[in-house]
Every structure is written in C-alpha cells, then in structure tokens.
Structure 1
Amino acid sequence: MTITPAELTHYAEIVFDVAVPIHDDDRVLINAEIEHAPLARALAEVAYARGAHYVDIWYFDPHAKRSRVRHADAATLAEVPSWLDARNEELARHHGILVNIRGSAAPDLLADEDPVRSGLDRMPNLSSRQRVQLNNLARWVIVPYPTAEWARAVFGEPDEALLWEHLRTILRLDRPDPRAAWKERLAELLSRAEMLTELRLDRVRFEGPGTDLTIGLLPDAHWTAVHLISSQGHGFQANIPTEEVFTTPDYRRVDGRIRSTRPLSLVGTVVRDLELTFSGGVVTEVRASTGADVVRSHQAIDAGAARLGELALVDGTSPVGQSGVTYLETLLDENATCHLAWGAGLPPGVPAGLRDRDAAGLDAAGVNVSDVHVDFMVGGPEVTVTGIRHDGATVELLRGEEWQL
C-alpha cells in the first residue's frame, strides 16, 4: 500500500502531537532530501495550521555531495557554508522546532569514492545543528520516510510500499491510538532507566562473538530515555521511533574490543563488519570489511571523535528488532538493539551535578566533547550485557536480548 495523503497528514500530526508540540508563533526548520518532499510538505501544512510563525524546508542532495567529493579541492571539503550555520543559530535564538527527516535516497552512494575524501565532507551533518540538539536549544526530532532507493538497499528492489508497511508498524501508526501507544512506551523506557540509575553501577561489560568491552560510567551515573526538556522548559521526544535507555559514560575508562552487529551507513558509505579496539578510552584499531578508512577519517575529526559518548541498551521487544530487517538507517537500526556512539557525550545522560560545566569542565570530568556523534549497533541474541557495581559485584542486565532485572 502506498502512502496516502491522509496517512501523511496523520503522520505529521503525530510528530507534532507526540514529539515536538508547536507553541504559538514557533519557527520550524525541516531538513530533508528531495525524495522526502511529500512528508516535508505535510509537516509544513500541519505546522502552519497549528500556528507556526514560519516553516523553512532545506533539501539536501547527496548526488551534489558526491560531485564535491569527486572534484573539489581537498582543502575545502571540511568547510561548511556560514549561511547554513546561521540558519541553525537563528533557530536557537528563537527556541523553535527542528525536524530532521531520515531515509537516504542513496545509502551507499559514495561507496566507490575515495574514503578519505568522503570522510572529510561531513555534510549535511553540521556541528551547529549538533550544538542546538545536544544543548536542547530547540525542540527537535528525527523521523523516517521511505524512498525507493532506500527500499532497494534494504530489500533488493525499490519497493517503497513494502518499506512503508514496515515503518507503519515501527512508528505505531497502525495502533488504534498512536499517541497513547507512544506515551505508554516512553513511560516504560523511563521506568527502566530509573531502575538502572538506582543500581549505581560503576561500569558495564559487553561480551559476545568478537566482543569483550568494559565501559566505565560516571559517578552517580544517570540513565534516561529520549524524553527531553528544552532550554525553555518544554518537553519533547527527540526520536520517532525510540526504544532505548541510555547513559553518558566516562570516556576515559573504556577498554577492550567491540564488534558491530549490524552494518552502519556513514557519510554515504555502508560500513560492514566493523570492529573497534579501545585502550584507555581511545580507539586504537579500526577494522571493517568495507568502510574502515571512512571510519578512521571520521574519528580523526577531533580528539573526542575516537572516544565514546553514549551507551544505550535496547531489548528484544523493539518492533524494529522484531522485524528482522537491517534498515541501513541509524534512526531505525539503533532502536533494534544495543548501541554505542563515538563522539560527543549526551547531556541528558550526564549526572545533574556536571551539567552546568563548560566544555573544559565536562572533559575533565570524563564527559566526551566532540563535534561528531555516531551510533553503531553492538547488541544481539549472542551478546550479554553485565553491570558491575563499585564493590565488584555483578548484575546481569541483558541476555538473549531479554532484560534480566
């Protein structure tokens, strides 16, 4: 079944009901690719109908990025046009709404390009947008939309309707009351996060095929879900879908080896069979059957890019994981199973006593500071996750993707 106009309107209403409620006179920015236009237009229609002051849609074209990677002077590839940063800074000044639409029209478009050059061009991932999101200077959300080429990458044929059928379930749009379903799910995740916080763990260990990694946590480690509070005190849900509970680890205390359990789509390249080795909190070795050089380039962007900033746990009840499909889209795949992220630590996962520190103070406390944040999937039926208390006592958290608490 293709997406009908009524379904698109319903989807847009859910976005603004569940994730980023509009207040009178809000500015709304929508980031999309050209193929996402039907959803972008539906979002604009609903936003204006609910009193938005202005809706600005920016379409990014990955094919133009490929041309840049192929031909531009290498010294210019890391540059970002100032007017794009100004757009995000203006949104932050007005404390508006940011909607990022995901679902690449060409997930592996840069596979045959120079991986080092590809890694230098981070567009459309702007550090100014990351600053807005990490500091919740706007209410923001990431949502998926199917495209024919995304469906081809996932299913081997451009069956956009089939991909939409999957998304309809994952987004809970097939429920009698999607708003109530998301409210219930978020309450479950927050309850689980509270249980993890109360365990007062010192570190977490991942064990499985090719994996034995221990991640130290911050003192008074805080676990949460993606129900966030903006700088203006407004609540919002940053991802649809969301199935995770997460914390911000102590980047200095990460040692061992971790094997990714799903491919990762990174700056136009699909990274497969990724393995990272950590020593003293820093990635010391990168291996992958494809895309290793892209990962190395990405992790060389700044000092924090080769360190961890997030530890997230996801159990087997996730509809994304239950589908049995790898979607080659981090928004979905990170909600299929446990994941980690190299790059910036997430402020909501930082203990309250550290949140007011500047970048230098956060770094000194073990909170990673970086201009990047990349999630990669590390969980699965063969991966066991164990919590370790300060006295060395252990508590099993996940086995066979089932909570053991």
Structure 2
Amino acid sequence: MLEKYAELIVKQGVNLQKGQELVIDSSIECFDLVRAIAKAAYQIGAKDVIVHYTDEKISRLRYENCPQEHFENIPQYLVELRNQYALRHAAIVTITSSDPEAMKGIDPRKIQTWSAAIHKACLTFYDHLDLGIDRWCIVGAPSVGWANKVFPDMSDTEAVRALWQAIFKVTRCDQKDPIEAWNEHRRSFEKRIQVLNEKKIKSLHYTNGLGTDLTIGMNQNYLFAGGGSYTTDGIYSFPNMPTEEIFTSPNKDQVNGIVYSSMPLNYNGHLIDRFSITFQNGRIVDYTAEVGYDVLQSIIETDEGSHYLGEVALVPYDSPIRNMGILFYNTLFDENAACHLAIGKGFGECMVDGLKMSKKELFEKGINDSLTHVDFMIGTKDLSIVAVLENNEQFVIFKDGNFVF
C-alpha cells in the first residue's frame, strides 16, 4: 500500500517529469513514505530527489527558547536554497503529519512571524507555486501524536495503523488501480465546473443554522476549478491528495456578513475552534473564537491581504471523507469534508487567462494577494448556497448541505 501511495503521489500528485528534480519536505517520523516516494521518483527518471527532514520536538524547543526577533530574519542560505529550487523548476512534495497540539502553549506570534518572514524572503519559490509555474503536492502520513489525537482510545500502534487505513481509503489507494481511480475522480468534477462557469454568477449567498449569513461577490471572468490543475507548462497535477472540492477566488472587496466555523482548525500545531468572522466590503472587521482566539488573531494580522478572502470552496456534506465519520484535525483532510473559505492569497487559475497575469494584474481584477492562505471549514448539514446571476435570476447551488445539480 505504501508503494502504491508513493507511486500515486509521484505520477498524479506532482506528475513528476523525467529529468526533473523532486524536493520532499517531511517529518522524520515519515521516513518510510519518503523512501518509497524517492524510489518511485527515480524509477520514472527523476534527475535527483532532495529530502528536508523536520522534527516537531526540535521545532518546539526552538520556539520555546528563541526570542521573537529571532523569527524575523531568514538565513540567506535558506533563501537561496528555496529560490534555486524554483529557478530549476523542481517539483515539491510536502508530507503533513503534525500533532494537532504540538505547539500548544507556544506564542502563536512567533510561528506567524516566521511564516510571514520566510514567505517574503523566498518570494520566488512561493510565487512559482502560487502562480502555477511549478507543481507541488501536499499529502498526509501518520505520526504517533496525530494518530493518538484522531483515535484517542487506541494504543499507539493501533492508532497509527487505523490512520494509515483511513489515508489509504480517502486517497483511493485501496482501489485496484489508484492511478485510474484518480483519472476518474478528475472527470467527476468536470460537469459541475462547466455549469458553474457558464452561469455567469454575480454573487453567492451562504446561510445556515449556526448563524452564517454571508454574501460573496464574484469577479468578472471568474473560473471554478476542482480536482487538479494545470501549470503554465500545460502539465496537469493534483496539488492536494485527497481532494473533493470545487473552488474559485472571489472578488476581494465584495464580501459582506458573518460566517461561523463548523469544524476545528489546526494551524501550525494550535487548535482554533468555535469561531466567527465578520466582513464588510471584503475586509475582516470583527472575529471571535472560543478556543484559539490569539492564534486566529495572528493569522488575520499577518498582513493587509490576510484581512480578505482568497478562496471559496464547495464540498458536499455527503462527501467520502465526511461519511467516514473521522475528524482528522488536519486541514488537508478536514477541508474535504466541508465547504470552506480561505483567508489570504487567491489563485490565478480562477480567472480567464489568470495564469498569464502578474500578481499586480490579478489584484487589480479582484483576486486577493497575501503572504498566507489559511482554509477554515464552514459547511454544515443545513448549509444553503444561492447564486445571483448577472441577469439577477437566482440559481440554487447547495440545499441541505449538498449540491442540487
């Protein structure tokens, strides 16, 4: 199963090309998967496979012992390293496996300061990923800490095994031919995407029993996307495995109302739960959180762009991940169990000819820009989403949490 998973990541996730470099970012706990990915990459002719390991316990010690100002400065070697990967058009695989409470008690400002600083310093690297120039893929693999959070009543061994089984299921690795299963999965998105792109939607109105009452304006020449996407060289890949969402980037200045979270958000080892965000003319003007208010604040205060939305994503309540009945405490998985929004950077692929535009051009046409992009879940069993079209007719997209077409 591990070999099938690794092959899927290489051939579908990043769609690695012969002669291309592959960079893998991973926790030391996931070395078995890293080795399997490296083997699969070399088998199809990778030029090289470069691995960067991290250790959550060392990371925590760093945040505990280094002062705030330490995280404001990125070493030049790290800047050159990441930006060189972009200039060489390396493919990037990131393995997420963090304990959802690994950074509990750590000042979230330190983590957010480092995140913002490294995005700013390594702008070439992140621009190549965000603007569809280079391919990347985020996948999951169990760590003991994460498995214990998801399955608290099991032993370490049982919990890790159960989480592996869940990951294999939601990534379709348990099927006879996972590669073809993902090809079919890609085709399953196309009908709905075509409908949404032909409807000429002016705005989306979200309501549910939690109190969400949010209107989101759309950009002219918007595009919905889903499943995977093309990079500027015309190669198709899946940046997220698993994925069940159809998404677009809204007009950053046309969001009004309040939205309530429907699931916990794990952000860099901190949990945020039972929170709300209020928008006025696109900008966040108020927010609350029963758990993790200071972490939510650190996200929103990253920069000016983190006060605006960059993504709206449609995921039916009756989705494969939701139906498993597992709360993963990991955004990669939980965002595919519910409709979600994202604070921060928008996507060039969500506008006609957007991949040919600069960040400035995209921004001027309404797509948000930021150093961050953070998804949070809002989908519920009673969620309603009604589109208002350019001719002022209404088109119901979601009723009782699911697509109606």
> Where does residue 380 of structure 1 map in the other structure?
380
> Where does residue 3 of structure 1 map in the other structure?
none
Separation in 1, partners of 2:355, 2:20:
27
> Where does residue 238 of structure 1 map in the other structure?
239
1:193 aligns with 2:189: no
1:144 aligns with 2:137: no
Any conservation in 2 of the 1:278–1:285 contact (CA below 8 Å)? yes
Q: CA deviation at 1:337?
A: 1.2
Consecutive unaligned residues in structure 1, runs of 5 or more: 1-6
* Aligned residue pairs, count: 397
Q: CA deviation at 1:283?
A: 0.9
Normalising by structure 2, we get a TM-score of: 0.93
**Secondary structure class of the residue paired with 1:98:** strand
1:356 aligns with 2:352: no
1:107 aligns with 2:100: yes
Separation in 1, partners of 2:65, 2:324:
40
Separation in 2, partners of 1:212, 1:257:
5
Separation in 2, partners of 1:26, 1:375:
30
Consecutive unaligned residues in structure 2, runs of 5 or more: none
Separation in 2, partners of 1:23, 1:185:
22
Any conservation in 1 of the 2:74–2:117 contact (CA below 8 Å)? no
> Where does residue 76 of structure 1 map in the other structure?
70
Residues 131 and 61 of structure 1: CA distance in aligned 2, closer, same or farther (over 3 Å): farther
Deviation track 1:334-380 (CA, whole Å, cap 9, x = no partner) reads: 1111111000001111232x543333332222110111111111112
Q: Map of 1:1-20 to 2, 5 A cutoff? A: 7-20=1-14
In structure 1, which of residues 21, 35, 57 is the aligned counterpart of residue 15 of structure 2?
21
> Where does residue 4 of structure 1 map in the other structure?
none
Residues 49 and 153 of structure 1: CA distance in aligned 2, closer, same or farther (over 3 Å): same
Any conservation in 2 of the 1:118–1:294 contact (CA below 8 Å)? no
Residues 203 and 123 of structure 1: CA distance in aligned 2, closer, same or farther (over 3 Å): closer
> Where does residue 98 of structure 1 map in the other structure?
92
Deviation track 1:92-149 (CA, whole Å, cap 9, x = no partner) reads: 2222211111121x22122212233343232897453432211222221111111221
Separation in 2, partners of 1:312, 1:372:
17
Moved more, 167-176 or 305-314: 167-176
Identity %: 29
Root-mean-square deviation (CA, aligned residues, Å) is 1.8
Separation in 1, partners of 2:130, 2:108:
28
In structure 2, which of residues 9, 28, 36 is the aligned counterpart of residue 34 of structure 1?
28
Code of the residue aligned with 2:19 in structure 1: it is D
> Where does residue 227 of structure 1 map in the other structure?
228
> Where does residue 116 of structure 1 map in the other structure?
109
Q: Which consecutive aligned stretches of 4+ in structure 1 deviate over 6 angstroms post-superposition?
A: none
> Where does residue 60 of structure 1 map in the other structure?
54
Deviation track 1:15-44 (CA, whole Å, cap 9, x = no partner) reads: 122222332211100011111111011101
Separation in 2, partners of 1:361, 1:327:
37
Any conservation in 2 of the 1:243–1:314 contact (CA below 8 Å)? yes
> Where does residue 161 of structure 1 map in the other structure?
161
Separation in 2, partners of 1:119, 1:93:
26
Any conservation in 1 of the 2:249–2:312 contact (CA below 8 Å)? yes
> Where does residue 215 of structure 2 map in the other structure?
214
> Where does residue 311 of structure 1 map in the other structure?
312
Separation in 2, partners of 1:58, 1:363:
33
1:297 aligns with 2:291: no
> Where does residue 401 of structure 1 map in the other structure?
401
Q: CA deviation at 1:246?
A: 0.6
